[in-house]
Amino acid sequence: MSTTVYVPGDAAALALGADDVAAAIAINAAKSGLKMRIVRNGSRGLFWLEPLVEVDTGQGRIAYGPVTASDVPGLFAANFAAGGKHRLRLGNIETVPYLANQQRVTMRRVGVIDPRSLEEYLAHGGGKGLALARKLAPAAIVQQVTDSGLRGRGGAAFPAGIKWKTVLGTASAQKYIVCNADEGDSGTFADRMLMEGDPYCLIEGMAIAGLAVGATKGYIYVRSEYPHAVAALNAALDAAGDWLGDFHIEVRKAAGAYVCGEETALLESIEGKRGIVRSKPPLPAISGLFGQPTVINNVITLASVPDILAQGAAFYHDLGVGRSRGTLPFQLAGNIKFGGLIEVPFGCTLRELLYDYGGGSRSGRPLRTVQVGGPLGAYLPESQFDTVLDYEAFAAIGAVLGHGGIVAFDDTVDMAKQARYAMKFCALESCGKCTPCRIGSTRGVEVIDRIRAGAPEQIPLLRDLCDTMTLGSMCAMGSMTPYPVLSALNHFPEDFQ
């Protein structure tokens, strides 16, 4: 009988040597005459343990990690195929507290199944949502999504059901479903993990959206920095056969423009143009891709839909707090000891994620700040670490949850430098359509340079500039760059002296 061994093919695992580990396992298995089936699964998201090798022992999946290629002969000597004792043995992976304490819904199959196998996807509960949706009227599908309380996971947190309802109610011969997989925010990787580890979940969500609004064509716009995700999606689509019926999906590779994560710039880019932000209205739901009604949602939003259909809107709505319903896959990144993916219902605190899961800084120095929500998110000081992870609670302190990325910094960080970087990044990535963003960002870098060189009288000018950018920019790029800048200035004024 052959033993199934899991060696992640996730980009993060690859970056830590997973291919070498898989090759070493294959060679050693051949040498010792053992029959082994090596599955390249996604990552469980416990990155300090990658490459994380799991063995299906029949009594749960026993994990070993972090494994390097040079550890492999030792694993064979320890008979790891039967779950043998070894210094890297972690026991049943499902019982590791970091994972056991989470409540994985959207990400529950990531790291578990073979992402290339539709059969395994269906065997692990996939496909039920689509099967149910096929029996429902479009308005009933939209109602389920509305009732679940699902809000856009890309960062704007707009209710998905309302967006879908608008598209459903707009008559057109051709409508589109567009998945925004331009996950450009530093500190975020949930979209990447899902696309690489459970691509069929996203594909199913898009097909359900198609049924809900009457669209037959979908696009997944994936950033070019994610070649492994592009490959995983294309492989999954090629192997999907007739599972999707007459819904057709095309993967489109982006070309390295951060602003294309803004939905209208993204639509321009798919149309083959420069990714320049459009004026709204009209909303994409009314006039979107190629001028047609378009549902445009983030990866995690669409990937949450299959379970909402399969398990019912109430199941999803029962999780979370306030107006933030369901779960969010938080991504713990930067200078953190145990970085990774933590999917929990809304409502726990930042401190719990940073210390109970994250274990504090990787450097061993005190954490000084975290930036939540990507390059356009605010820097939070330690005094705000007890903020509840909920869209409204974050808005109340002048911050954003965004896509759930949390980047930790220790006490060596220079906040004036981080503020300068925020302006610099905006200058680099601005699409150039509106003046506050295009010119304001460059002036912002200059003003911060003067402040850092010892001109505190320029601080009111910086505040004034941020005000102009916030109120005058066309999209989040310019209007939210002041979040990191002002939060750094307000919470860490000593760094600007």
Partner 1 sequence: MISTLNAIFGKHLHQSGSLLPILHDIQHELGYVPDEAVPLIAKELNLSRAEVHGVITYYHHFRQTPPAKHIVYVCCAEACQANGSEALAEHAAARLQHGDIAMEPVYCLGLCSIGPAIQIDETTLHARVTPERFDSLIAALGERS
Binding site for partner 1 (CB under 8 A): 11-12, 14-16, 47-48, 50, 183-189, 192, 224-228, 250, 252-258, 269-275, 290, 331-336, 339-340, 362, 371, 375, 405, 407-410, 413, 418, 421, 425, 428-429
The least distance separating partner 1 from the CB of residue 376, rounded to whole angstroms, comes to 11
Beta 320-321 vs 324-325: how paired, if at all?
antiparallel
Of 40 and 252, nearer to partner 1 (C-beta) is: 252
CB of 228 to partner 1, least distance (A): 7
Q: Residue 189 or 346: which CB sits closer to partner 1? A: 189
- Nearer to partner 1 among residue 55 and residue 401 (C-beta): 401
**Of 324 and 335, CB closest to partner 1:** 335
Cβ proximity to partner 1: between 155 and 184 the closer is 184
Nearer to partner 1 by Cβ, of 77 and 428: the residue is 428
Q: How far is the CB of 409 from partner 1 (least distance, A)?
A: 5
- Residue nearer to partner 1 on the CB measure, 16 or 319: 16
To partner 1, the closest distance from the beta carbon of 290 in angstroms equals: 6
**Closest separation in Å from C-beta 186 to partner 1:** 3
Q: How far is the CB of 16 from partner 1 (least distance, A)?
A: 5
Cβ proximity to partner 1, 351 vs 424, nearer residue = 424
Tell me the closest approach of the beta carbon of residue 15 to partner 1, in angstroms. Answer: 4
Distance in Å, CB of 482 to partner 1, minimum: 16
10 Å CB burial of residue 249 (0-12, 13-18, 19+) is buried
What are the distances in angstroms from CA 365 to CA 346, 411, 463?
28, 7, 31
Can you tell me the distance from the alpha carbon of 10 to that of 148, in angstroms, rounded to the nearest whole number?
A: 30
Q: Which is nearer to partner 1, 144 or 487 (CB)?
A: 487
Q: Could you give phi then psi for residue 168, rounded to 5 degrees?
A: -60, -40
To partner 1, the closest distance from the beta carbon of 90 in angstroms equals: 18
**Closest CB to partner 1 among 217 and 325?**
217
Smallest distance from partner 1 to CB 196, Å: 9
